[in-house]
Structure 1
């Protein structure tokens, strides 16, 4: 198992906040594990025609997901990172992989800072009028990563046959 994905010995006894943030960090580490050791071209490889799904596309998408769900908690409007519908998956043939990975890492660090400054019960009214708790945001991010890590697992298996939870 990847050491960044290690499950704490007391996982079943963690408090709610620690459980949610540990599970989210585990999913983040899983995404990086699926990308580890691959070339830029392999990270750009699409699943099957006509799908635009690729590992770097998933990384870019999840960068936008972190921004979209947490920017307003930081008192600012979300920045559009990739312009247009499914933009994070488009144009990956010439994508700067190192820049995409660095942007994701920076966004995750920023997200951790934003989450640490809030309680799970804090409520935010988004610019669209919806109200959500930080608890919901963390649960939603876990769901996003879990779904896309399933995609990443299939992509990785297609690239080099590697599998694993």
Structure 2
């Protein structure tokens, strides 16, 4: 496994070792010991796995929980997405900054989005299947959303030709609420 730093030190790109031949390929997508040694530097337990399928142009996020905050290890098993993590940790030197990475079935990259970050993604392929491990359980009453187009964040989403956003996500709050 190769771990690549991003502009925000706690957010990491993970490139698994892939072994391929004319039959196909094999890769290890999760190894507790290596993850803790190379990525988080501390014990990390995942309690929930999620899988979503979305059409081209779908934007999900920017989601976060105020209780039972979740770290997420995300990857794409079919298609491609532009994945975004926004630092919402008050007092952090990178508060309000974001990292965006293309994750795809072809590049097999994973992104570690630690607790204290809002997360979202935009589907750039015809469709995409997105899977992720979470460090805490989904808590609907503690879930919040920052509007994807917030002018304070200036996220450079690669909007291609259409945008499909849920009603809930289209009503996301402005980032400035977190600055209070």
TM tier relative to shorter chain: under 0.3
| Structure 1 or 2: more strand by fraction | 2
Q: TM-score, normalised by structure 2?
A: 0.22
Q: TM-score, normalised by structure 1?
A: 0.23
